[in-house]
Amino acid sequence: MNHLHFNANPTNLPLNYLGYSLLIILAVAAALVKVYLLWRKGRFTQGYRMILGLLGLFLVRLITFLITYLGWQTYRQFTPGLTALDQISSLIGIILILWLWNFPERSRGVDIAVILLGLMTAAMAVGLLTRFSSLLQGLLGSISFWQDLSIVWLVVGIGLILIRKPNLWSYGLFMHIILMLGSFLAVLSTQLEALHLAQLVAYPLLLALGDRFPIGEPRQIGLPQTDQQGRKHFSVEKKILSVIQQLFDNNDPAGILYKIAQTAAYLILADLTMVIDTPDKHGKIRIIAGYDLIREEPLQALTLESKSIPLISNYIERGKMLHIPASSTSRDLSHLAKMLQLSRPGHLLVSPVYVAGANKTIGVILFSPFSNRPWTKEDQNYIRLLCKLFESAFKYRLISQNGDSEGVKSSIRDLSAKLSELTQEKQKLREDIAVLSREHQNLLQDQNALQKKYDNLMNWGNSLQRHLAMLVDLSKKESTEALRKYIAVVEKEIEQVQDEVAYQGSEGKSTPEQEQKAKSPDIDPDSGRPANLKEAILSCLESMQTEIEVKNLLTTLDLPEDPPLLKMNHALFREIFSFLLANAVMENDPESEIRIRTQIYAEDHTQRFAHIKISDQGEGYYPDEITGILNDHLTSEQQEQLSQVMTNLYVTKNLVENEGGRMWVESKPGSGTTVSLLLAFL
């Protein structure tokens, strides 16, 4: 048994260890940065695994470096424990390198085994350095023990590389051979210098990991870099929306799915586009519809075993996007290419679509075996938004079939009848004012009061006329939830007007019916009091807490300690703020931030205003899109194209301006959206 030996001057030995460890750390860090930069362009699944493996390798080497340095500073000599730690960290590195080169795709059993082996080896290192240091004088303190283990794992790694032959496998084979040669020389010479030298030669080969799964083929030098895809950015365009809505005029589900495949193929320019179902109870998975853009013809339906394409079926069931590059060794890619009779596989992208009514998820598969389209991050954002439009169209079709639109029309008719009644009451009060003006001079003070009531009724009538026009415009929208909220706000406003008119007609004397109505628990008490800005905002955040926690959003509040009361009623302000908060939650990506800020401004020391800003970190919009939404003179065709977020903004703007306030929106693609409200205090 060969135990550890030291040079004549062990004090200088750590400098060699620290220097070689630092070079290893730099090589791993460079490989990690290269893989991360490439992964950001394409977001392929294997890149995430390579990032995790290299990050683990970097941390192991960094921890070893720190422990070695601190231990040497304490004892001023290189102890057997630190030498064993260096060999243990090398062994953990070999396990991670074996995993990185041989298993680029997900493998649950292998992943768990690697994690357990790494934890067991790390636990052994901690035990040897703390409680069981005496074991270093025996078998565990020998160079041959640790290097024999390393050789065994390297033999396993070489065998797996020769069997599996992953992409750029020759680099991995060369790296394993160099490390094995260093371990053999370390056993023969009972010194670790040969091992360190072999690692310094082998670890830079980790830089080749970033080239295993390129996101696209290099362009030829000298040719203009034109955009052959013909599309760079996706926005809510009228033509696209009209095409998608026309898909669902057909009652045949199979015809709808074929049109989805055809439309997606033409919009994103994919060689092959397929619509795939989730696995059934027998483990079968069906490609329901497809379209070949190169030949411009439909694809035949196929039935596969779900275990033959495990990654695709798993990601569709979980409702997540999957990106597999053409150079992947995934069974999904090779089997799908074989079923489609393709000479070589291309890059693959799968995006989920939730089908309302069927309560299941289907997948839209984009395949590029001919054009080698890489499916960059921009392409992924495009197909994700396109699939959300498909989901919205499914929901709209389900609502239309259930007859919910008839209920909306009935609500509009009821509101029209109530508006007519209020108009008649307004005319009656106008006649009463004319009679009172001709009465005795002692009634002039009462006349002023009645004039004020008349003006209020005029404002109420005008407000309800605007509400009715707004409801007619929104009756064809996709988002019925926003329409229901708007109807609820109008109904509350009508109840308040009727109560005030009844109270005025009785000259301030309450009838038994009015007293009974005042005690009714159905009336919202918040509709009769001025709005408390801070209370309403906190209440809306509490009601949306579940949605905020699901997306793990950070909420930043900047509110005055004791702000004055607003002129509008509390219930209406709470409705307005809930619209804007729902938009911010909807627009934000997971783990983003929502900022809410309120400032108080004074004008001529006579009137104070609240400036409320709600900012999100979503995708943002172009200025012309925002300008069109905030235009009061949108045509019916323009209003039909609005998304749910834009519909909410359109509704909120009308509510705010109806109360004498102002609303404006600042947005820019890629930097989020900020909605500002300017409301007067009492």
Residues linked to residue 599 through DSSP beta bridges, in sequence order: 611
- Say if residue 235's pLDDT is above 50: no
Quick one: what percent of the chain has pLDDT higher than 90?
A: 7
Query: Where is pLDDT greater, at 353 or 510?
Result: 353
| Stretch among 132-136, 221-225, 351-355, 678-682 having the lowest mean pLDDT | 221-225
Distance from C-alpha of 147 to C-alpha of 84, rounded to nearest angstrom? 11
- What's residue 408's pLDDT? 47
CB–CB of 45/106 below 8 Å? yes
Chain centre to alpha carbon of residue 53:
24
Name the CA radius of gyration of the chain, rounded: 35
pLDDT tens digits along 443-466: 666 666 667 777 667 766 666 666
Cα separation, 412 vs 432, in Å, equals 31
pLDDT digits (tens, 9 = 90+) for 362-405: 889 888 888 888 888 888 888 888 888 888 777 766 666 555 44
Higher pLDDT, 220 or 578: 578
Q: What is the mean pLDDT of residues 39-44?
A: 74
Q: Are 566 and 529 in contact (CB under 8 A)?
A: no
The token duo for 322 is 């999957």
Please, what is the Cα angle at 320 between 316 and 321, to 5 degrees?
Answer: 95
Q: Mean pLDDT throughout 129-134?
A: 64
Q: Which of 28, 405, 12, 83 is nearest to 199 (CA)?
A: 28
For tokens 């955009």, what's the residue?
227
Closest among 94, 95, 72, 96 to 82, alpha carbons compared: 72
pLDDT tens profile 250-285:
555 557 788 888 888 878 888 888 888 888 888 888
- Mean per-residue pLDDT, 574-595: 88
Are 293 and 273 in contact by the 8 Å Cβ rule? The answer is yes
499: helix, strand or coil: helix
Does 218 score more than 50 pLDDT? no
Calculate the dihedral angle through the C-alpha atoms of 357, 238, 234, 397, rounding to the nearest 10 degrees: 0
Q: How confident is the model at residue 520 (pLDDT cuts 50, 70, 90)?
A: very low
Question: 298-307, 406-415, 582-591: lowest mean pLDDT where?
Answer: 406-415
The pLDDT assigned to 255 comes to 73
Task: Look at 635 and 181; give whichever has higher pLDDT.
Answer: 181
The label of the residue with tokens 């609303």 reads 663
Query: Is there a contact between 213 and 44 (Cβ–Cβ < 8 Å)?
Result: yes
Its sign, for the CA torsion 150, 156, 160, 163, is: positive
To which residue do tokens 């035990």 refer? 127
- In the structure, what pLDDT confidence band is assigned to residue 438 with cuts at 50, 70 and 90? low
Return the minimum-mean-pLDDT range out of 407-416, 545-554, 673-682.
407-416
Which is higher by pLDDT, 513 or 558?
558
Name the CA dihedral angle for 7, 8, 14, 15, rounded to a multiple of 10 degrees: -110
Asked if pLDDT for residue 299 goes beyond 90, the answer is no
Contact 321, 328 (CB under 8 A): no
Decide which of 100 and 447 is more confident.
Answer: 100
Written as one string, the DSSP assignment of 390-408 is: HHHHHHHHHHHHTTHHHHH
Top-confidence range, 10-24, 63-77, 563-577: 563-577
pLDDT digits (tens, 9 = 90+) for 334-372: 888 888 888 778 888 898 988 876 778 888 988 888 888
Q: Which amino acid is at 403?
A: G
Task: Provide the pLDDT for residue 331.
Answer: 80
Among 225-234, 235-244, 313-322, 564-573, which is the least confidently predicted range? 225-234
State the average pLDDT over residues 95-124. Answer: 84
Residue 326 predicted with pLDDT over 90: no
Give the 3-state secondary structure of 325-386. Answer: CCCCCCHHHHHHHHHCCCCCCCEEEEEEEEECCCCEEEEEEEEECCCCCCCCHHHHHHHHHH
Residue of higher predicted confidence among 134 and 574: 574
How high is the pLDDT of residue 84?
78
Q: What is the pLDDT at residue 314?
A: 85
Tell me the residue length of the chain.
Answer: 682
At residue 133, does pLDDT exceed 70?
no
- Contact present, 250 and 259 (Cβ < 8 Å): yes
Distances (CA, A) of 506 to 282, 503, 510, 550: 74, 5, 7, 52
Asked if pLDDT for residue 327 goes beyond 50, the answer is: yes
Tell me the mean pLDDT in the region 121-149.
71
Give the least confident one: 94-108, 362-376, 429-443, 530-544.
429-443
Lowest mean pLDDT among 210-214, 412-416, 518-522: 518-522
pTM of the predicted model as reported, rounded to 2 decimal places = 0.44
Across the chain, mean pLDDT equals 76
Model confidence at 637: pLDDT above 70: no
